[in-house]
């Protein structure tokens, strides 16, 4: 039968260290000494004694660095998350998921630019070496030319109304007709624009953030 001091020490361990039944855990002999009203030396000796009696398996502390958390860990059954906090976390998680899906599916915006925008970097630029940028280079346009024409096309189709290709091309100001056609063709192939009966319309914009 255990003596009173041993019983108090075991109870202190059980109260302060979760998971002690299933796996080895690091303990703080000094903290246990405070909780039981004993000296650190007495606690260590008592732990060694209990280990010899096979009540516990105790490995005395060596001069190995360890971390002590200043706040005790709450057990799962005692953790409560309010509905508002839960919904906010869910909303942020869904936003990250949609951003990831958009990053994977996007075929007209530079991958690097999308990442920089996501992390709120200012003045993002096309990298010129991702799959999207390399595909743009097939049009024979520079990134600057491509982006400038693309922005005008998107603005012209921003009202949601389909436009005939010829009318759309003519409406892009101060640009070479052949270059405009290349950009429109690229955007159609990339799924950014819809083409139906010689009319072009914009698809619903994606949210990359």
Consecutive H or E run containing 18: none
Q: What is the pLDDT of residue 74?
A: 76
Per-residue CA distances from 161 to 155, 199, 203 (Å): 11, 9, 11
Q: Please give the pLDDT value at position 66.
A: 65
**In the 8-state DSSP scheme, what is residue 195?**
E
For residue 94, the model assigns a pLDDT of: 94
pLDDT of residue 208: 41
C-beta of residue 178 within 8 angstroms of C-beta of residue 145: no
CA dist., res. 199 & res. 60, Å (int) = 79
- How far apart (Å, rounded) are the C-alpha atoms in residues 108 and 177? 20
pLDDT of residue 181: 87
> For 1-80, CATH number?
1.10.10
Q: What is the pLDDT along the chain (209 residues), one digit of tens a residue?
A: 678 888 888 888 888 887 777 778 888 888 889 988 999 889 988 898 988 888 888 888 766 666 666 777 777 787 888 899 999 999 999 999 998 998 888 888 888 888 888 888 888 877 777 888 877 766 777 777 888 888 888 888 888 888 888 888 888 877 788 888 888 888 887 778 888 888 888 876 544 43
pTM over 0.85: no
Tokens of residue 85, six digits: 């906090």
What does the buried/exposed string (b/e) look like for 113-146 if buried means 16 or more CB atoms within 10 Å of the residue's CB? bbbbbbeeeeebebbeebebbeebeebebebebb
Domain with CATH 1.10.10 in the chain: 1-80
* Sheet order of strands, 163-164 included: 163-164, 199-202, 193-196
Beta bridge partners of 193: 202
User: Whats the size of the chain, residue-wise?
Assistant: 209
Distance CA 182, CA 64 (A): 66
> What confidence score (pLDDT) does residue 97 get?
93
Q: Which of 102, 145, 143 is nearest to 124 (CA)?
A: 143
pLDDT of residue 209: 38
Rounded Cα distance, 200 and 29, in Å = 75
How are beta strands 163-164 and 193-196 bridged, if at all? Answer: unpaired
Cα–chain center distance at 146: 31
């Amino acid at each position: 039968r255990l003596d009173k001091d041993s019983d108090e020490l075991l109870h202190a361990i059980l109260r302060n260290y979760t998971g002690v039944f299933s796996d080895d855990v690091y303990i703080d002999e000094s903290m246990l000494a405070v909780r039981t009203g004993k000296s650190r030396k007495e606690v260590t000796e008592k732990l060694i004694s209990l280990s010899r009696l096979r009540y516990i398996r105790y490995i005395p502390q060596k001069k190995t660095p360890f971390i002590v958390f200043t706040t005790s860990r709450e057990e799962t059954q005692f953790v409560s998350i309010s509905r508002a906090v839960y919904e906010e976390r869910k909303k942020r998680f869904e936003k990250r998921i949609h951003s990831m899906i958009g990053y994977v599916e996007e075929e007209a915006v530079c991958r690097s630019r999308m990442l920089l925008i996501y992390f709120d970097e200012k003045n993002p630029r096309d990298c010129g070496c991702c799959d999207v940028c390399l595909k743009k280079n097939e049009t024979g346009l520079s990134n600057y030319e491509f982006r400038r024409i693309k922005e005008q096309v998107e603005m012209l189709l921003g009202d949601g109304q389909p436009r005939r290709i010829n009318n759309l091309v003519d409406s892009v100001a101060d640009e070479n007709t052949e270059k405009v056609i290349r950009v429109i063709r690229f955007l159609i192939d990339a799924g950014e624009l819809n083409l139906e009966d010689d009319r072009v319309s914009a698809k619903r914009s994606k949210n990359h953030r």
